[in-house]
Amino acid sequence: MDGNGRWAQSRGLPRVDGHRAGALAIRPVLECAAEIGIQVLTLYSFSSENWSRPVAEVDALMALCVEKLVEERDGLVRSGVRLKRVGLRDGLPTRVLDELDATEQATAACNRITLALALNYGARAELVAAARHLATRATEGSLAVDTIDEAQVSSALCTSGLPDPDLLIRTAGQQRLSNFLLWQLSYAELLFLDVLWPDFRPTHLRDAATEFAARKRTFGGVLPPTLSKGDPNPLSARTV
């Protein structure tokens, strides 16, 4: 969800106002995602590298996170949204962890859509933690090294239990992954938009789903002979 700072700066506002506007953009997009049948919407909200921002901005982002979780919790339950925290616990303020835990618990039985909130998330840190976890189990004798396969690695990641994303949308012009879901995005379709996150609307998501549906995905194979360019994609966007 990139571009909050630029959105604010272009209006002569403090960056934190951009983060507030960005937070407001989430709910309609989440509702639209559920309507069009997306099973999992993952939002890259705060990276392990974002701690390097000025303390005041980091504090404002953490406070905003607490505020929104408290404010939105009942609404998430009512709309059937299951929250899943993605990222490392270590480093997050207790208050943020408490509200995340409470929201995960309150929404545990919801099954209309999963909102995966990547907070204090970095793919390299995640892979290091997964390697340590698997190595510890192997050392303890509860895991045979030659049984480690892709599924084992996937289940040692923060996104354990979630399908890999089908589509990545990055807003605000930059064309890079910024340490996001490096393992999980291996076969994702990538879409880079110039729109700043606070200006992102359901219509952008609908357009992205249409663009996704027109792409040919072969996962390293070849297209079935019955499909040619222009035919609808047999796979639909499930996870973004």
Residues that bind Mg ion (CB under 5 A): 2
Shortest distance (Å) from residue 5 CB to ligand IPE = 2
CB 134 within 8 A of CB 143: yes
Residue 198 neighbours by CB under 8 Å, 6+ apart? 3, 4, 7, 18, 21, 22, 24, 25
Active site includes 50?
A: yes
CA dist., res. 2 & res. 97, Å (int) = 23
- Options 1-9, 109-117, 126-134, 185-193: segment touching ligand IPE (CB under 6 A): 1-9
Residue of 4, 48, 184, 239 interacting with ligand IPE (CB under 6 A): 4
Using H for helix, E for strand and C for coil, what is the string for 198-220? HHCCHHHHHHHHHHHHHCCCCCC
Q: How far is the CB of 4 from Mg ion (least distance, A)?
A: 7
Residues 165-194 that bind ligand IPE (CB under 6 A): 172
User: Near ligand IPE by CB under 6 A, which window of 2-10, 34-42, 154-162, 227-235?
Assistant: 2-10
Catalytic residue among 4, 50, 101, 120: 50
Q: Which residues contact residue 23 at a Cβ distance below 8 angstroms, ignoring those fewer than 6 apart?
A: 64, 68
Among 3, 87, 122, 165, binds ligand IPE (CB under 6 A): 3
C-beta separation of 192 from 173 below 8 A: yes
Of residues 45 and 156, the one with the C-beta less far from ligand IPE? 45
Q: Which does 6 bind (CB under 5 to 8 A by kind): Mg ion, ligand IPE, none?
A: ligand IPE
**Strand pairing partners for 170?**
192
Q: Tell me: does residue 133 bind ligand IPE (CB under 6 A).
A: no
- Give the chain's length: 240
| Least distance (Å) between residue 158 CB and ligand IPE | 18
Indicate the SS3 state at residue 184: coil
CB of 62 to ligand IPE, least distance (A): 10
User: b/e per residue, 142-172, with b = 16+ CB within 10 A?
Assistant: ebeeeeeeeeeebebbbbeebebbbbbbbbb
Which one of the spans 3-11, 90-98, 131-139, 215-223 is the region binding ligand IPE (CB under 6 A)? 3-11
**42-101: contacts with ligand IPE (CB under 6 A):** 46, 50, 61
Q: Which residues are near ligand IPE by CB under 6 A?
A: 1-6, 46, 50, 61, 172
- Which residues carry out catalysis? 2, 50
